[in-house]
């Protein structure tokens, strides 16, 4: 008669491994350099090609943002496949019942909130419309630049949501809990924007709030479709449609806007995320997400917390 004994992992192994995988902290430590390697590996050849052939600036921008998207997707897939031993789709990208409704709600919410900011600032005389794109650029060029700007903001939304509300938040939640994961990922999200043009500690605070705002979309659905739509809708309507700066950056705009209001309220050169208008809009948006989540049900959807 033999007695089987279970061997416990050694102390060093317990530091690095849990359940046959690297612990969440180590996985995050690997994910950062992996992102840099993948984005660089895909981006440098395309930039060299564009320099050799003298491509126009819009084509260079298109290649650069597409390479950036490819690098983030590749790095996140590699991390999920070999570090997490999970599917990339399990980050909240499976298209089960209601995924399209979540995404469309996010886009509409972002557009509605930005429309409210635009209406408030123009109504109070803090922002003046000085022209429209097609009056200066022509219809064909306006259409082409609008599509390019939309693609840019799709890439920004996918990259930032996949990294922060996707891999970062969900890996932190495994090692800690969901509340701490939302807080820490939102703090990192804010700090990552600290180097943007015209950034300040107020803009950083507001972008931390934006991180919580976007994370709420994941919390109530356990999927990324709502934050993806919201991130795109907020940025696209903010920058391309209504002509505000987007986190300190400028891109093609349909409405040419002159913002002369108080920077504390409007956000000034950084855009609404650095002002009280943006902060109030995000807080209102959180309430609307919670109300929408209470009202909406479909098979397989978890109840909101």
Q: In this predicted model, what pLDDT tens digit does every residue of 240-288 receive, in sequence order? A: 999 999 998 888 899 999 988 899 999 999 999 999 999 999 999 999 9
Per DSSP, the residues of 163-176 read IIIIIIHHHHHHHS
- Strand 21-22, strand 255-259: pairing: unpaired
What is the pTM for the complete model shown? 0.90
- State both tokens at 183: 């807080």
Tell me how crowded residue 234 is: count the other CB atoms within 10 A of its CB: 30
Q: Which of 200, 224, 207, 193 is nearest to 273 (CA)?
A: 207
SS (H, E, C) 62-96: HHHHHHHHHHHHHHHHHHHHHHHCCCHHHHCCCCC
Residue 149 sits at the vertex; the CA angle it makes with 143 and 150, to the nearest 5 degrees, is 90
Cα(249)–Cα(94) distance, rounded to whole angstroms? Answer: 32
For the cut 80, the answer to whether the pLDDT of residue 239 exceeds it is: yes
| Structural domain boundaries in the chain | 20-86, 95-295
Task: Please state the separation of Cα 181 from the chain's center in Å.
Answer: 16
Tokens 């919201």, residue located: 230
Cα(181)–Cα(170) distance, rounded to whole angstroms? Answer: 7
Q: In this predicted model, what pLDDT tens digit does every residue of 51-90 receive, in sequence order? A: 787 777 777 778 888 889 999 999 999 999 999 999 999 9
Residue pair 92/218 in contact by the 8 Å Cβ criterion: yes
Which residues are paired to 129 by β-bridges? 257
Tokens 């123009």, residue located: 122
Cα(150)–Cα(145) distance, rounded to whole angstroms? Answer: 8
Residue pair 168/28 in contact by the 8 Å Cβ criterion: yes
Q: In this predicted model, what pLDDT tens digit does every residue of 170-213 receive, in sequence order? A: 999 998 999 999 999 999 999 999 889 999 889 999 999 999 99
Q: pLDDT band at 9, cuts 50/70/90?
A: low
Radius of gyration of the chain (CA): 22
Please provide residue 248's backbone torsions phi and psi, each rounded to the nearest 5 degrees: 85, -5
Q: In this predicted model, what pLDDT tens digit does every residue of 24-44 receive, in sequence order? A: 889 999 999 999 999 999 888
pLDDT at 10 (0 to 100):
60
Q: In this predicted model, what pLDDT tens digit does every residue of 124-148 receive, in sequence order? A: 999 999 999 988 888 999 999 999 9
């Amino acid at each position: 008669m033999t007695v089987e004994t279970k061997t416990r992992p050694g102390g060093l192994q317990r530091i690095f491994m849990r359940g046959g995988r690297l612990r969440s902290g180590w996985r995050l430590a690997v994910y950062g350099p992996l992102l840099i390697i993948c984005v660089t590996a895909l981006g440098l050849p395309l930039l060299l090609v564009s320099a050799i052939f003298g491509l126009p600036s819009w084509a260079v921008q298109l290649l650069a943002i597409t390479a950036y998207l490819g690098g983030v997707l590749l790095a996140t897939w590699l991390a999920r496949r070999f570090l997490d031993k999970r599917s990339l789709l399990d980050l909240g990208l499976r298209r089960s019942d209601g995924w399209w409704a979540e995404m469309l709600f996010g886009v509409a919410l972002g557009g509605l909130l930005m429309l409210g900011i635009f209406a408030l600032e123009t109504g109070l005389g803090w922002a003046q419309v000085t022209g429209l794109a097609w009056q200066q650029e022509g219809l064909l060029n306006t259409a082409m630049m609008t599509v390019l700007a939309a693609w840019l903001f799709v890439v920004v939304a996918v990259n930032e949501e996949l990294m922060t509300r996707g891999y970062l938040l969900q890996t932190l939640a495994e090692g800690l809990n969901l509340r701490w994961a939302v807080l820490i990922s939102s703090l990192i999200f804010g700090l990552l924007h600290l180097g943007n043009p015209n950034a300040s500690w107020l803009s950083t605070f507001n972008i931390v709030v934006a991180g919580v705002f976007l994370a709420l979309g994941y919390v109530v659905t356990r999927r990324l479709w709502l934050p993806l739509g919201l991130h795109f809708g907020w940025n696209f309507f903010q920058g391309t449609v209504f002509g505000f700066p987007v986190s300190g950056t400028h891109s093609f705009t349909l409405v040419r806007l002159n913002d002369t209001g108080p920077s504390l309220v409007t956000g000034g050169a950084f855009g609404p995320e650095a002002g009280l208008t943006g902060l109030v809009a995000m807080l209102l948006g959180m309430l609307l997400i919670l109300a929408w989540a209470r009202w909406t049900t479909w098979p397989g959807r978890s109840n909101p917390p």
